[in-house]
Amino acid sequence: MSPDVGDVIAGKYRVERVLGTGGMGVVVAAVHEELEQRVALKVLRHEVIDDEDAVARFAREARAAARIRSEHVARVLDVTTTTSGAPVLVMELLEGCDLERLLQTRGPLATHVAVDLVLEACEGVAAAHAAGVVHRDLKPANLFLAERADGTTAVKVLDFGISKVVATPGATTRDAGVTGAAMILGSPFYMAPEQLASTRDADARADVWSLVVVLFELIAGTVPFDGATIPIVQTRILTAPTPSLAALRNDIPPDIDAVIRHGLEKRLTHRFANVTELARALAPFASLAGAQSIPRIMRLLGGAPSEAATSGPSSVPVFASTIRASSSRAVVGTVLLAATALAAIVFVSSSADRAAKVPAPSAAAASVTAFAPPPQSAMPSDAVFPVPVDAAAPLLVDHSRPRAKVPAAPSGTAGFGGRR
């Protein structure tokens, strides 16, 4: 039986309303009767309570989330059980809506709004990766636009149910996960090629791929690799070229296509190697407010490309030539220098972001590079904060505001100019 309104769970949490039901669990809003603290409870469904894998994944979600300290990851406060023995996660109660619902309600988002939302998601994912946790199921439904007490918003990463913990100090064998080599877990539309081959072997770079897919969807209104069946989707992810955003919308900065194409390279060693690279590549398209996420991500993970990114041939898009070609259209940026140990690249920002009237904004996704990012577009500093949590509310866009600058890579690390 699912929890009903008025039920008291674990002798202290009184159920107020049902928030949602999934294949494994039911999420309800509840209040702690002694502390009068409002929380969310995720209760494992009785239909799967005897499924050892389901119970293990439920426990893994609690342990994984407890390892991560970030405003951009939904907090797990406690674990308990119902009187019938069903496991319960006690989590912070979030007010707002997930990005899937936001997209369904408001349609494709302005580029800078989508980028800002994805950069916030990158903060949460970076904190997870720094703690040795790979999410493996990033998608708009698992990115929640939560309203803070002061009315501003924050993107929070949800549902670490199929996450895995890599070898880090303090990790235990039970943290490693229960995924078999041949098991495919997650949402196929957002899976990297290597994750389709083996969910167990997918590493943090699979999360970066998923973030780029989310970004594409927030801007285009559809995923890049669609299909009527899972085998068709898998085949397209493995073999089909990445669709052009410019072919779907005529009001976006054309150079963001290069970032997305690089983020969705089929070959693992030819795409963004970590969240830091993705965030820095997105900087030219972010608002000043959104760009504040980038130095925090760099502090969590550092600015140097991973070892995997430095091995094998490079298929990096030549952003510098794109910058020069774009500058003839409408130069509205400033010249940015990213100093590195081996190279310094001049970034000329240009190409005003014609964030035309799209159904509504809010977005998320990301893409990195240890090379020169595309030209900047006009980025309002206050267009996203606060974002109305009402998914139907309008989002004002002020293109007169200044744009963000790209943080320089830390000394001794490879920057946008090239690989070490």
Residue among 137, 175, 203, 255 flagged as catalytic:
137
SS (H, E, C) the chain: CCCCCCCEECCCEEEEEEEEECCCEEEEEEEECCCCCEEEEEEECHHHCCCHHHHHHHHHHHHHHHHCCCCCECCEEEEEECCCCCEEEEEECCCEEEHHHHHHHHCCCCHHHHHHHHHHHHHHHHHHHHCCEECCCCCHHHEEEEECCCCCEEEEECCCCCCEECCCCCCCHHHHCCCCCCCCCCCHHHCCHHHHHCCCCCCHHHHHHHHHHHHHHHHHCCCCCCCCCHHHHHHHHHHCCCCCHHHCCCCCCCCHHHHHHHHCCCCHHHCCCCHHHHHHHHHHHCEHHHHCHHHHHHHHHCCCCCHHHHCCCCCCCCHHHHHHHHCCCCCCCCEEEEECCCCEEEEECCCCCCCCCCCCCCCCCCCCCCCCCCCCCCCCCCCCCCCCCCCCCCCCCCCCCCECCCCCCCCCCCCCCCCC
Q: Is 137 a catalytic residue?
A: yes
Question: Which residues are designated catalytic?
Answer: 137
